[in-house]
Structure 1
Amino acid sequence: MTVLKTSVFVLDCAEPEPLARFYAELLGAATGPAPGDGELILVTDDSGAVALGVRRDPNHVTPSWPAPEGPQQAHLRILVAAEALDEAEREAVALGARPLSAEEDGSRPDDRTTLRRFSDPAGHAFVIAAVHEAPAAHGADR
């Protein structure tokens, strides 16, 4: 018998509340404490599905990526319809994301037609990637 499981991608940072709000606004989601885990804030969509978690780590060191001497570690990939890529970039920047140039992250400048690279307010890497079909929403229509 397989044990029922769920997973959540967790970002560690020094100040989890503002980072959780950043991702909630960027993803059109909400934040709340994880049941039974006072250290974890969950970012959830309208159906209650967990998009990611944010956890306080007072000793957190911001990733050095895209600096060549530092690995990217992990990154979040946010999927949007191809025609919404520019608008999604504007939303991310307005919420506090820092765009990363092709020179900073080692990519080709022509990659910007299909994805945009950013660091969130706590320095974690994420990309907004264009898909040819609109991404499926979990739960209710938005």
Structure 2
Amino acid sequence: MAVVKAGVVVLDCAEPEKLSAFYEQLLEGEQTEASANLVEVRGADGLRLAFRRDLNATSPSWPRPENSLQAHLVFYVEDMDEAERRVVGLGGRPVETKDPAGPYEERGYADPAGHSFTMRLMPITAPKQG
């Protein structure tokens, strides 16, 4: 029997209410918990993220080395251009939009508080033949 039953990724930020609203809309989810210093969101697919108030939080500087990634999220999408329009429309910004080498298309973004995340195109899986 597993000791750990569930987990949640927590991002530190100065304004958890604002940052949680960005991810709530991006993930088409809902706020599941809120207190003075923590807001949790569950996405439509069950992904759980929380945002903890830290008045001294500094935005990651990726790709610059000082204060680099801190945390990095990857979201799988079916339509990369639609995902980018949604991110930008919600207040996120592209940080790496060049096409990387390799079999998977992905693009880097920053949320309104500066945390980096990647949108990666879901691999197409063909049904088994015979």
Normalising by the smaller structure, the TM-score range is 0.7 to 0.9
Q: Distance in 2 between matches of 1:26 and 1:4?
A: 27
Summarize the alignment of residues 70-109 of structure 1 with structure 2, pairs less than 5 Å apart: 70-81=67-78, 84-101=79-96, 109=98
Secondary structure in 1 aligned to 2:37?
A: strand
Instruction: Give the match for residue 42 of structure 1.
Output: 40
- RMSD between aligned residues: 2.3
The one-character-per-residue Cα deviations of 1:8-28 (angstroms, maximum 9, x if unpaired) are 000110000010000010011
Shift of 1:70: 3.6
Identity %: 44
Q: Which has the higher helix share?
A: 1
Instruction: Give the match for residue 138 of structure 1.
Output: none
The one-character-per-residue Cα deviations of 1:8-59 (angstroms, maximum 9, x if unpaired) are 000110000010000010011111325xx65321111357x35211111111
Question: Which structure carries more relative contact order (alpha carbon 8 Å, separation 6+)?
Answer: 1
Q: Distance in 2 between matches of 1:7 and 1:96?
A: 27
TM-score by length of 2: 0.81
Where do 5+ consecutive residues of structure 2 fail to align?
126-130
Secondary structure in 2 aligned to 1:31?
A: strand
Pair 1:100–1:131, CA change in 2 (3 A): same
Could you tell me whether the CA contact under 8 Å between 1:115 and 1:130 is conserved in 2?
A: yes
Q: Which amino acid aligns with 1:69?
A: E
The one-character-per-residue Cα deviations of 1:76-124 (angstroms, maximum 9, x if unpaired) are 101112xx1110011000000110136xxxxxx3329701101100010
Summarize the alignment of residues 9-48 of structure 1 with structure 2, pairs less than 5 Å apart: 9-33=9-33, 39-46=37-44
Corresponding pairs, count: 123
Query: Does 2:100 align with 1:111?
Result: yes
Summarize the alignment of residues 119-130 of structure 1 with structure 2, pairs less than 5 Å apart: 119-130=110-121
Q: Distance in 1 between matches of 2:43 and 2:69?
A: 26
Where do 5+ consecutive residues of structure 1 fail to align?
103-108, 135-142
Q: Distance in 1 between matches of 2:5 and 2:83?
A: 32
Q: Distance in 2 between matches of 1:91 and 1:18?
A: 16
